[in-house]
Structure 1
Amino acid sequence: MFTVTVRDHLMIAHSLHGEVFGPAQRLHGATYLVDAAFQRPELDADNLVIDMDLAAREVRGIVSALSYQNLDDDPDFAGTNTTTEFLAKVIADRLAARIHDGALGPGARGLTGLTVRLHESHIAWADYQRAL
């Protein structure tokens, strides 16, 4: 399996509901490194997994739509704990939709998997992996 990963970052505000979250129940900021890893079993005719520039632009577009937002105010997330794990899935699903819409070019047709990793800190992160 071949993999290409592109990286960006995300800065949001949110609060989490439930005693398990302790002080994170209060409104706070979070900054994540976002890694999007694209997988395919064979390289395309140009010996690529994906056009890295197109992949980076699409990831940037998705994370920039979330950045500098208070996710508590976003109707898409009403009543939802926007945990690191949850946000990894949101980004992966939005990226998968862009891939299926053709935004990453014809070379993306051979992609079989996508993993989005959100690094919450240098010692903790969460992944969401999905088929394409």
Structure 2
Amino acid sequence: MYSLTVADHVMVAHSFRGEGFGPAQRVHGATFVVEAEFRAPRLDGANLLVDIAAARVELRRILDTFDYDNLDTLPAFAGQNTTTEFLCFHVHGLLCAALREGKLGTGGRDVLAVKVLLRESPLAWAAYEAEVPRTASA
């Protein structure tokens, strides 16, 4: 299995609902390093898994939808606790949509799985990994 990873970062503000979150119920900031790993069993005709430049551009486009924002105010996150784990899942879904739409090159058709990892610090991170749904409703 081949893999290719691209990375970027975002800075956000948000708060959480629920007593279990303690002081994080108040608005606070977070900076996340975001890694997106694509996995495929074969390379395309040009020996690429995905177009690395296109993958970087698409990851940045996705992150731009919430970078430097208060996540509590964005409709995409209404009613959600925007935990690190949840943000991994959110970015994963958008990357899978980009693959289905052909935005990462012809090799993107063979990508079987995507892993999105968000690093809150050198000591704490979360990830979401799943197969790429072949339809938007999957």
Q: TM-score, normalised by structure 2?
A: 0.92
Supply the AA of the counterpart residue of 2:61: G
Q: CA deviation at 1:48?
A: 1.6
**1:60 aligned partner:** 60
- Residue 18 (structure 2) pairs with residue 18 (structure 1): yes
**1:101 aligned partner:** 101
What SS does the corresponding residue of 2:56 show, helix, strand or coil?
A: helix
Distance 1:53 1:99 in 2: 14
**1:82 aligned partner:** 82
Unaligned 5+ runs, structure 1: none
Runs of 4+ that moved beyond 2 A? none
Q: CA deviation at 1:76?
A: 2.1
Count residues with an aligned counterpart. Answer: 132
1:40-55 matched pairs, under 5 angstroms: 40-55=40-55
Farther off after superposition, 54-63 or 43-52: 43-52
Superposed CA RMSD: 0.9
Q: CA deviation at 1:75?
A: 1.7
- Residue 113 (structure 2) pairs with residue 118 (structure 1): no
Distance 1:76 1:58 in 2: 18
What SS does the corresponding residue of 1:4 show, helix, strand or coil?
A: strand
Identity of aligned residues (%): 48
**1:35 aligned partner:** 35
Contact 2:50 2:106 in 1 (8 A): no
Q: CA deviation at 1:24?
A: 0.6
Distance 1:66 1:96 in 2: 18
Q: CA deviation at 1:42?
A: 1.4
**2:71 aligned partner:** 71
Supply the AA of the counterpart residue of 2:77: F
